[in-house]
Amino acid sequence: MQFVAISSVSFGEESDSTSNARASRVSEMLDSLVTTTYFQDERFSPAGKGGTYDYLPKEFIPQFSDSVYATRIADLARKSEFDLVYNEHVRGYIRVYAVDKRKFISKVLGLTHIYFPLFDESFRKYGIPPEMKNLAIVESALNPTAVSRAGARGLWQFMSGTGKMYGLHSSSFIEDRYDPNKATVAASEHLRDLHDMFGDWFLALAAYNAGPGAVQRAIRKAGGARDYWEIWPYLPQETRGYVPAFIAVTYVMNYYREHNIRPAQPGYLYSETGRVPVRDALTFEQLNEVLGVPMEDIRFLNPQYKAGLVPAPESRPNMIRLPKQYIQTFLQKEQNIYAYKPELVAEKVRLYTMVRDVERKDEVISSGRGRKSHVVRKGETISRVARKYGVSVSQIIDWNDLKSSRLKSGQKLVIFKAVSEYGSKKSSASKLKGKKNKLKAKAGKSSVKKKALKKNKGGKKSGKRGAKKQRN
């Protein structure tokens, strides 16, 4: 096999500004891995051996001809339920993943050892092709707390409204879209539903990105064609790059060795962790101080608990994921953990509840909106209510914590409608912003003060550091 150093390579039309715009979201998600503390852990090995071409310098970037790419992707297609093809659009994304952002792909390959086994379990249950797990790389670069500019969150980038349709909810302390287990089940159900709707996996992918309505409109404009590449010109701009990006990721995940990309080695494998039910309110600090679980591990394995607090369960226990070596000790000392420094829970609930209330008021005042009640009339849809008050459907769903977009006659809704009676938005919002900053500062000082007291008492340091959609 002949290699050439990739110094100046022309990718034709895919090098223009339109192609760069399509690739921007992919790059944005990969770049988000820079701040992931998981990769800063002392046990994390940032550069494993590639395997096939270990004799090459790490800095060397191989480049292959179009015929090599086409042959490799054709080989993958023969074993896949997807009609994988190679074209100039796919070539552009191979460049993004295998050249421009290759150092992040090394980290993504490490994360596959944590998340791909979870995806495989769910996909088998719902009849989803195994290659679909690569979609999460396109969506979030396997960053469980990734947030897009549009507000989509988590590994599978659910918008709030779509997430709630599939059982993903948000509160002051929990964001289900950040929960790898819950979000993966929701993504499996959503993808299955989209495939049932369109009968084609590529169209299901396009609908996952742009929404079923956009795909249906593209099909109509294409004269009823139900092939992704035939409706491609009629899809939203970002969605045109969605399937090519998916094909490119599928290629790179199978041929990263040939591209001299060396996987980072994670501190934990998925099989080395497990979930346990939590039957009372619990803070990450309690787990850290009683069990000695490194704080970085707890945070990384449980990104859904936004405030570092597992709330007391309302109906069924909340779940927490821990390294397996701590699970038996947790079960043995469970009641002791809940009883240890209960003021940690009380203080955290008090401070974060105050911050939440201020943030909600800040949102209302800064947007110039006042609270209004609306009683749903017979036959009235949520879209009609949204148009009446000049708000979005997703806002109504969020404000009322709705589990679906279906309304019942007589149902009461809370609407924050634009009003002028609130007076000066600037002054009121500024006051609330100042109050919110003071509360957050107080929460930080409280944490620092407790650490200082502990140090003065000669306490030992806590455990050593460890490894830690639809849009429309």
pLDDT of residue 183: 98
Structure token digits, residue 86: 């190679």
- End-to-end CA distance of the chain: give it in Å, rounded: 46
> Which residue of the set 81, 121, 131, 139 is catalytic?
139
Whole-angstrom Cα distance, residue 424 to residue 445? Answer: 32
Whole-angstrom Cα distance, residue 362 to residue 27? Answer: 32
Whole-angstrom Cα distance, residue 108 to residue 26? Answer: 13
pLDDT of residue 24: 66
Q: For 286-302, write each residue's pLDDT tens digit.
A: 999 999 999 999 999 99
Whole-angstrom Cα distance, residue 28 to residue 441? Answer: 30
Assess contact for 402 and 374: CB atoms under 8 A.
no
Assess contact for 299 and 37: CB atoms under 8 A.
yes
Whole-angstrom Cα distance, residue 177 to residue 15? Answer: 34
Q: Which long-range contacts (CB under 8 A, 24 or more apart) does 323-328 make?
A: 323/268, 323/272, 323/273, 323/293, 323/297, 323/466, 324/272, 324/273, 324/274, 326/291, 326/292, 326/293, 327/274, 327/276
CB atoms within 10 A of CB 296: 23
pTM of the model: 0.71
Whole-angstrom Cα distance, residue 309 to residue 18? Answer: 44
Low-confidence ranges of the chain (pLDDT < 70): 1-55, 351-370, 403-404, 417-472
CB-based contacts of 80, cutoff 8 Å, min separation 6 = 129, 131, 250
Whole-angstrom Cα distance, residue 119 to residue 134? Answer: 10
Q: Among residues 432, 426, 443, which one has the least CA distance to residue 360?
A: 432
Spacing of C-alpha 284 from chain mean position: 21
Whole-angstrom Cα distance, residue 319 to residue 308? Answer: 13
Whole-angstrom Cα distance, residue 334 to residue 337? Answer: 5
pLDDT of residue 421: 35
In order of 247, 280, 281, 309, 356, the CA distances from 312 in angstroms are 43, 4, 4, 9, 18
Q: What does the angle CA 284 – CA 289 – CA 295 come to, to the nearest 5 degrees? A: 45
* DSSP annotation of 311: P
Number of helices followed by number of strands (H, E) in the chain: 19, 6
pLDDT of residue 130: 97
- Let me know if domain 12-255 sits in CATH 1.10.530.10: yes
pLDDT of residue 431: 44
Whole-angstrom Cα distance, residue 128 to residue 132? Answer: 7
Q: Which amino acid is at 465?
A: R
Assess contact for 155 and 115: CB atoms under 8 A.
yes
Q: Among residues 194, 253, 255, 251, which one has the least CA distance to residue 228?
A: 194
Q: What does the angle CA 195 – CA 198 – CA 204 come to, to the nearest 5 degrees? A: 50
Structure token digits, residue 402: 């709705």
- Concerning whether 139 is annotated as a catalytic residue, the answer is yes
Taking the domains of the chain in order of start, what are their residue ranges?
12-255, 279-341
pLDDT of residue 216: 97
